[in-house]
A and B are shown apart, each in its own frame.
Chain A
Amino acid sequence: MSPLPVTSAVPAMPFSRVVRAYLSDAKWESIRLFRTPAFSVPILAMPILFYSFFGIVLAGKSNIGQLANNLFVGWTVYGVMGPGLFGFGILVAVERNQGLLTFKRALPMPTGSYLASKLMMAYVFAVVVMVMLVVIAVTMGHVTLPWTILVRMAAVMSLGVIPACAVGLFIGSYAPASSAAAIANITYLGMAFLSGLFFPLSGFLHTIRWAWPTYHLSQLARASGGMESEGEPLVHVAVLAAMTVVLVALAARKLSRRG
């Protein structure tokens, strides 16, 4: 029996097209979420509203530079963590219960592109948030730091997107779709307040502040801006990296068990 001629060989995918597929997914993930007000409005507006209120109105009254700088760091850390935490925390929980992921699994979507596109989407949103916060800080925020330092601090804080995505992925993998939004919100606000971003902590809460990625990120930002900070920057980076690895590993374990 002679084999039939193979007329239906599938052409190989050039590397450049694989890269384009990743970039295309990141682009469309960002565009669709900018076009989804239920996601984009809270993610973009909340940090700006809060920072404007506390950073301009309240800090203006006290007129103390130190407080203004603290508020800039606090609300920027808050703003940077949002897109990753909600982008993964809510969307993964919802999408794994929908046909969307099934369809994507049937398509030849590059293996890592589902998560990579969300990570890049979170970066895009975080950059937009930071640009707006730096503009407010420089123009109306009473900060005493020059804008070049603020940009450097923002660049350091953009590292926070990665642990934020890891926390979100962990929530999205374990939480049911119906309660993922509530859990993500509580985690988000809890991390912001319990890491001392907005007011000093004492007692037990002070002792466990190192448990929150927001604490390490804010200390890194303060160090990079020459502000008073606790601990070694390298240790903070290492702790953030370790938290990311552990959370992603736990999420991967849960997601792969679903088959």
Chain B
Amino acid sequence: MDAEGDGALARLTGAKKRYGATTALDGLDLDVRPGELLALLGPNGAGKTTAIGILLGLQEPDAGEARLFGRSPHDLAARRGVGVMMQEVMLPDALRVGDLISQVRAYYPDPLSFEDAVALAGVEKLVQRPYIKLSGGQKRQVQFALAICGRPRLLFLDEPTTGLDVTARETMWATLRRLVKDGASIVLTTHYIEEAEALADRVVVMAKGRRIAGGTVSEIRGLVVRKRIDCVTATGLPVIEAWPEVIAASHDGERTSITATEAESVVRRLLAADPRLSDLEVRRAGLAEAFAELTQEPAAQEQTR
């Protein structure tokens, strides 16, 4: 079975999806290339899970098209190349971890051996345990074992490390790196830029069902690593906003909050403008702020159009 002519294993073209009044996907284009780890980064409600759901054939796009290995996602032959870890999943309570792995392995043409699947996911100690008795983090590890046990060429992981402790997360990251090295492709959604930094070859930032930025990790980091400066100052917002390093400034009660590309020169200007400035605080802008800012850009462009 072939992939798309240009080698994309999975592809969304102009995918749109609405749930009632909510737009989950607003014309998303997405390619997954062989041997890459693609991170879908974005806040809650950005459409990451919907994008994966459509690629897996769980939902139908209202417009646009989804292809998996050059086929419809409903095609069983295409899904035999795919492993999946969803955010919320119910598994049969009465089965043990080993039973679940055996059952899912049977769906694939050339699965990993039972022992390899268990070892790669780091669930050796859980094999005999009933699934229902596991902690949340252990359940995630077992779901990861189910995702990789079929030796999939393409792996969809929807926020795989949520709820994991540090050790389990390190194990999962190491396994993901190894799978990519062995030629698998991985699509991973995450809130955490650290996770994308640690693993991804390519990052697509999504907001409001759209792709708002894409590129290598360092390109995205350049986009989202901003500095946040808070202080109490008499200097007015129009003055501050005129400085070249400043992206945005706002008042919150007494405090002035500034988002800037660079902290040092803005602090120097602030101190020069107002010697009585107090309560100065500088930190790296959080992902939430960066997203909020990136998210506003498409809307702003639309308004000026």
Interface residues of A (CB under 8 A from B): 1, 3-14, 17, 20-21, 24-25, 28, 31-33, 35-36, 98-100, 102-103, 105-111, 259
Min CB distance, A52 to chain B, in Å? 27
- Name the one of B7, B81, B90, B92 contacting A10, with C-beta atoms under 8 angstroms: B81
Asked whether B80 lies within 8 Å of A13 as measured between CB atoms, the reply is: yes
Please name 11 pairs of A and B residues whose Cβ atoms are closer than 8 Å in the assembled complex, sorted by A. Answer: A3-B6, A7-B35, A8-B153, A12-B1, A28-B102, A32-B94, A100-B92, A106-B57, A106-B58, A107-B107, A108-B76
B137-171 vs A: 1/0 string, CB under 8 Å?
Answer: 00000000000001001100000000000000000
Q: How far is the CA of A16 from the CA of B277 in the complex (A)?
A: 77
Q: B254 near A: Cβ within 8 Å?
A: no
Q: Which residues of B are found within 8 Å of A11, using beta-carbon distances? A: 80, 109-110
Q: B5 near A: Cβ within 8 Å?
A: yes
Interface residue tally on B, bucketed by range:
35 or more
Asked whether A21 lies within 8 Å of B107 as measured between CB atoms, the reply is: yes
Asked whether A108 lies within 8 Å of B79 as measured between CB atoms, the reply is: yes
**CB-CB nearest in chain A for B80:** A108
**CB-CB nearest in chain B for A3:** B5
Min CB distance, A176 to chain B, in Å? 17
Q: B298 near A: Cβ within 8 Å?
A: no
Q: How far is the CA of A109 from the CA of B82 in the complex (A)?
A: 12
Asked whether A14 lies within 8 Å of B84 as measured between CB atoms, the reply is: no
Min CB distance, B90 to chain A, in Å? 4
Asked whether B69 lies within 8 Å of A107 as measured between CB atoms, the reply is: no
Q: Contacts A3-B5, A28-B95, A106-B56 hold; do A10 and B102 have CB atoms under 8 A apart? A: no
Q: Which residues of A are found within 8 Å of B183, using beta-carbon distances? A: 7-8
Asked whether B9 lies within 8 Å of A8 as measured between CB atoms, the reply is: yes
**CB-CB nearest in chain B for A113:** B107
Q: How far is the CA of A20 from the CA of B102 in the complex (A)?
A: 11
Q: Which residues of B are found within 8 Å of A25, using beta-carbon distances? A: 103, 106
**CB-CB nearest in chain B for A28:** B103
Q: B99 near A: Cβ within 8 Å?
A: yes
- Name the one of A3, A8, A24, A33 contacting B154, with C-beta atoms under 8 angstroms: A8
Asked whether A4 lies within 8 Å of B76 as measured between CB atoms, the reply is: no
Asked whether B3 lies within 8 Å of A108 as measured between CB atoms, the reply is: no
Asked whether B76 lies within 8 Å of A110 as measured between CB atoms, the reply is: yes
Min CB distance, B184 to chain A, in Å? 8
Q: Which residues of A are found within 8 Å of B58, using beta-carbon distances? A: 102, 105-106
Q: Contacts A10-B81, A107-B79, A108-B80 hold; do A35 and B94 have CB atoms under 8 A apart? A: yes
**CB-CB nearest in chain B for A29:** B92
Q: How far is the CA of A11 from the CA of B108 in the complex (A)?
A: 9
Q: Contacts A11-B109, A25-B106, A32-B92 hold; do A103 and B6 have CB atoms under 8 A apart? A: no
Asked whether A24 lies within 8 Å of B102 as measured between CB atoms, the reply is: yes
Min CB distance, A123 to chain B, in Å? 19
Q: B14 near A: Cβ within 8 Å?
A: no
Min CB distance, A6 to chain B, in Å? 5
Q: Which residues of B are found within 8 Å of A106, using beta-carbon distances? A: 56-58, 79, 82, 84, 86
Q: Contacts A28-B99, A102-B58, A108-B82 hold; do A10 and B109 have CB atoms under 8 A apart? A: yes
Q: How far is the CA of A108 from the CA of B106 in the complex (A)?
A: 10
**CB-CB nearest in chain B for A14:** B109
Q: Which residues of B are found within 8 Å of A98, using beta-carbon distances? A: 90
